[in-house]
Amino acid sequence: VQLQASGGGLVQPGGSLRLSCTVSGTTLTSYDIGWFRQAPGKEREGVSCIRWMNGWTKYADSVKGRFTILKDNEKNTAYLQIDSLKPDDTATYYCAGRPRETYGSCSLYDSYAYWGQGTLVTVSS
């Protein structure tokens, strides 16, 4: 199972980005996909996750109302739509996958077996 994250860049405060996570090597029906971020000097934080089979989603309180996790079954790709970006959103964003039977909240980074390489989002004027 391989994950490829992309879509990061430099954005002004208030702007938007759509990150992509393309998965190969498996179909995602039996997986959860999570998005995490890590800012310099900070711990990795769970941002959002989706259960592919039924579309159930979860968001961190810090991003509710601004971030939307989406999926495209045909493209085997998950997206993270980020709106109303703030400087505090600056971080490297990672996508990760785990079998849906994995015990524990989907926001726990150590519950994920498969990781993409990360894409940098910088929010600055």
Q: For 96-111, what is the mean pLDDT?
A: 90
Look at residue 107 in the predicted model and tell me its pLDDT.
Answer: 87
Look at residue 104 in the predicted model and tell me its pLDDT.
Answer: 86
* Nearest residue to 28 (alpha-carbon basis) of 59, 8, 7, 49: 49
> Has residue 101 got a pLDDT over 90?
no
> Has residue 85 got a pLDDT over 90?
yes
Exposed/middle/buried for residue 103 (C-beta within 10 Å: 0-12, 13-18, 19+): exposed
Residues 44/60, Cβ–Cβ less than 8 Å: no
Backbone angles phi, psi at 113, to 5 degrees: -95, -25
